[in-house]
Amino acid sequence: MGRAPCCDKANVKKGPWSPEEDAKLKAYIEEYGTGGNWIALPQKIGLKRCGKSCRLRWLNYLRPNLRHGGFSEEEDNIICSLYISIGSRWSVIAAQLPGRTDNDIKNYWNTKLKKKLLGRGKNSRMNRLSAISGQDPKDANGGEENNYLQNLSSSALERLQLHMQFQNPFSFYNNPAFWPKLNPFQDKTIQSLQFLNASNNQNNPIQGISISPQQAAVECSTISNLKAEEHQNSESSNFVGQSNYKGIEPVSGFTQTELNYLLNNESADCLPTLSQNIAEFDCFKEMNETKDNLGWWSNDFVDANSASSNSWDSATKVNQSEELYQVYTLGYGMQ
């Protein structure tokens, strides 16, 4: 049996709100509150609107103390940092920015901040390729890479790209207590890695691999429940302080200086590791060009997932880890 619609869609108005509708809704809520029932609200007021639409209008536009546009650099940093840490949980991010709505932040990220952030890295790569080859940067970045990108969800890709710009000292594979029980997906990864190892020249082991296939598979797996719970438990305690967002220490480990560099073109001279990584920044550079370093994967993968996993249900975990598995296997030509 299907779910009953929240309203009679044939008799509700859709589209932009008129000033009269806004005034009615605002006046009623300010005087009587929502009454704990958005669905019944439009009928009480005499609005031909869906209750959900009323709720959205109130929350995103009419309620007091809202700010629109004009995001500060500090807010940019917070949004960026939180996005990298917890993903597209806009309501959580909005909770750290007084006066901002999740919708506003989501739009701001999608239209401006994302481009600002990822554009930097992309340009760095393009410029580097251009300098090396003398080619037009647009041509230097082959179509094959674009095919990889098309196979990824934007969220997974963005966050992976951002994570790749930094070295994270947290070593997942050095902490067996965090290793989850293997599931079929992980077994698949193991098999792929074993195949990869077997097909590689035994005398030419992949340089720099410091982990076993089992360990790599663990890293490519869904993040362990332990890490998820750990983060979930720590999440609320992180978001405390004089202002709402003071005290946040994102799981990604971005420092203020690093974020300033990414967002505001500040100097990276004082960031040897960062500047090195930025200069080489591209999602699949290491995969495509060297196949010799899995170090970034272990840390970044684990970190990206652990940070966002606290809201995953089991199906989502599988899907997201599958996405990252795609990153992994596509990059190494396993598929």
Q: How far apart are CA 53 and CA 12, in angstroms?
A: 10
For DNA, give the closer residue by CB, 215 or 310.
310
Distance in Å, CB of 216 to DNA, minimum: 27
Cβ neighbors of 129 (< 8 A, separation 6 or more) are 135, 137, 140, 141
Binding residue count for DNA, defined by CB under 7 A:
45
Distance in Å, CB of 121 to DNA, minimum: 17
For DNA, give the closer residue by CB, 17 or 178.
17
Distance in Å, CB of 144 to DNA, minimum: 22
What does 257-298 look like in DSSP terms, one character per residue? HHHHHHHH----TT-HHHHHHHHT--TTHHHHHT----HHHH
Cβ atoms of 213 and 259 within 8 Å: the answer is: no
Residue labelled with tokens 């940067």: 137
Distance in Å, CB of 87 to DNA, minimum: 7
For DNA, give the closer residue by CB, 66 or 196.
66
Please report whether residue 28 would count as binding DNA according to CB under 7 A: no
> What separation, in Å, do the N-terminal and C-terminal C-alpha atoms of the chain show?
40
For DNA, give the closer residue by CB, 210 or 232.
232
Please report whether residue 238 would count as binding DNA according to CB under 7 A: no
Please report whether residue 1 would count as binding DNA according to CB under 7 A: yes
Question: Residue type for 296, please?
Answer: W
Cβ neighbors of 72 (< 8 A, separation 6 or more) are none
For DNA, give the closer residue by CB, 60 or 326.
60
Residue labelled with tokens 């690093």: 258
Residue labelled with tokens 């949004």: 79
Residue 44: closest CA among 63, 58, 25, 30: 25
Which residue from 111, 203, 204, 242 is in contact with DNA, where contact means CB under 7 A? 111
Give residue 263's Cα distance to chain centre. Answer: 16
Residue labelled with tokens 């719970």: 229
Cβ neighbors of 68 (< 8 A, separation 6 or more) are 104
For DNA, give the closer residue by CB, 51 or 213.
51
Q: Which stretch binds DNA (CB under 7 A): 7-15, 74-82, 259-267, 276-284?
A: 7-15
Q: How far apart are CA 318 and CA 322, in angstroms?
A: 6
Q: Which of residues 31-90 bind DNA (CB under 7 A)?
A: 34, 36-40, 50-53, 55-57, 60-61, 68-69, 88-90
Which residue from 26, 48, 103, 275 is in contact with DNA, where contact means CB under 7 A? 103
For DNA, give the closer residue by CB, 108 or 254.
108
Which residue from 155, 197, 225, 275 is in contact with DNA, where contact means CB under 7 A? 155
For DNA, give the closer residue by CB, 92 or 209.
92
Q: Which of residues 162-181 bind DNA (CB under 7 A)?
A: none
Q: How far apart are CA 153 and CA 225, in angstroms?
A: 23
Which residue from 26, 106, 120, 291 is in contact with DNA, where contact means CB under 7 A? 106
Q: What are phi and psi of 187, to 5 degrees?
A: -60, -40
- Measured torsion, CA atoms of residues 34, 35, 41, 44, in degrees rounded to the nearest 10: -120
Q: Which stretch binds DNA (CB under 7 A): 103-111, 160-168, 193-201, 209-217?
A: 103-111
Distance in Å, CB of 40 to DNA, minimum: 6
Residues that bind DNA (CB under 7 A): 1, 3-4, 6, 9, 13-17, 34, 36-40, 50-53, 55-57, 60-61, 68-69, 88-92, 102-104, 106-108, 110-112, 115, 155, 313, 315
